[in-house]
Amino acid sequence: MKHLLSLEKLPRADFENIIRDAATFKRERGQHQTRPLAGQTWAMIFSKSSTRTRVSFEVGIRELGGDVMFLNANDIQLGRGEPIKDTARVLGRMIHGAVIRTYAQRDVEEFAEFAKIPTINALTDDEHPCQVLTDIATFEELRGPIAGKVVTFIGDGACNMPVSWIFAAAKLGFELRIAAPKEFQPAAEILQRAGGKLLCTEDLKAAATGADLLYTDVWVSMGKEAEAAGRIKVLTGYQINAPLVKLAKPGALVMHCLPAYRGKEIDAETFEAHANTIFTQAENRLHTQKAILNWAVS
Ligand code: CP
Ligand code: NVA
């Protein structure tokens, strides 16, 4: 039984297979005959908003021959306090796989443990594994192997996106630099567990210099809205803009997992200058989701 709950536990060979299969699913969209989810019904249980993840999984499951139901966590008894482990034991007897977006990492782990069906983390407060797999697939599509390259993440270095990048870096052999104010640096314990070539700094110019990829994410993640004013104050300046892009390698990619807040983590001109990369990245959520689903059931 395979679950994608965290990139920390994903073996390197599986990383490579998913990234390779994402490219194949993209190339062969509409042509591939394989229906690995034929006869299956998957549930998507979401406690947070989503555009890309929701649509890419719903379309991906259907294109792989499966059926899918979207369950807003508030509309099922989970939202009224029914325990995760009971919800999991019910759904596990009815459906074939689950895609879950929620707050606590422990909740997706508990669901997987009790449902005993393939379970995919579609974002928690701790990680966003599907997004980082897509980002790496996109980098490799546009620039070739990521091994040996320099990836610089700028912004909230303690949220789910950088954590998933941290676990990917050691496995795939690229250098990861995280530029964040000291209040938003990743936890030392996570860096230690991951290993690899990691640099965490408050100096965003040093972090951007010579990078192959500049990456950013929102300053106020879902669930952190009450802290918005304080976060914006501390994170101001940690922005991808033209002067910062100039410090990176010529031809460096700029990526954003989206949604983007212009004038905050990226300025409008830089966003538009790199929109082609950013929306290819968004499109690739579909192809990578299909590769992840195929991996989960094979
Ligand atoms: N990047 C991402 O996960 O987007 P959504 O929140 O729209 O799913
Ligand atoms: N860090 C962001 C990612 C959104 C895709 C959040 O959790 O809201």
Told to judge if 159 belongs to the known catalytic residues of this protein, a careful annotator would answer: no
Backbone torsions φ then ψ of 128, nearest 5 degrees: -140, 70
- Which listed ligand is nearest to 221 at the C-alpha? 2
Instruction: Give the rounded percent of residues in the chain with a pLDDT score beyond 90.
Output: 99
Told to judge if 231 belongs to the known catalytic residues of this protein, a careful annotator would answer: no
pLDDT tens digits along 145-197: 999 999 999 999 999 999 999 999 999 999 999 999 999 999 999 999 999 99
Task: For residues 86-114, give the mean pLDDT.
Answer: 98
Told to judge if 89 belongs to the known catalytic residues of this protein, a careful annotator would answer: no
Atom of ligand 1 nearest to the CA of 257: 1
Q: How many whole angstroms separate alpha carbon 208 and alpha carbon 222?
A: 26
**Residue intervals in the chain for CATH 3.40.50.1370:** 7-127+285-297, 131-282
Q: Residue 102: CB within 6 Å of ligand 2?
A: no
Q: How many whole angstroms separate alpha carbon 102 and alpha carbon 180?
A: 25
Atom of ligand 2 nearest to the CA of 53: 5
CATH number belonging to the domain at 131-282, selected among 3.30.560.10, 3.40.50.720, 3.40.50.2300, 3.40.50.1370 = 3.40.50.1370
pLDDT tens digits along 276-298: 999 999 999 999 999 999 999 99
Stated pTM of the model: 0.98
Q: Residue 258: CB within 6 Å of ligand 1?
A: yes
Sign (positive or negative) of CA dihedral 160, 161, 166, 172: positive
Nearest CA to ligand 1 atom 7: 51
CATH superfamily, region 7-127+285-297: Aspartate/ornithine carbamoyltransferase (3.40.50.1370)
215, 220, 223, 227: CA torsion to nearest 10: 150
**Residue 263 — left, alpha, or beta (φ > 0 → left; ψ -120 to 50 → alpha)?**
left
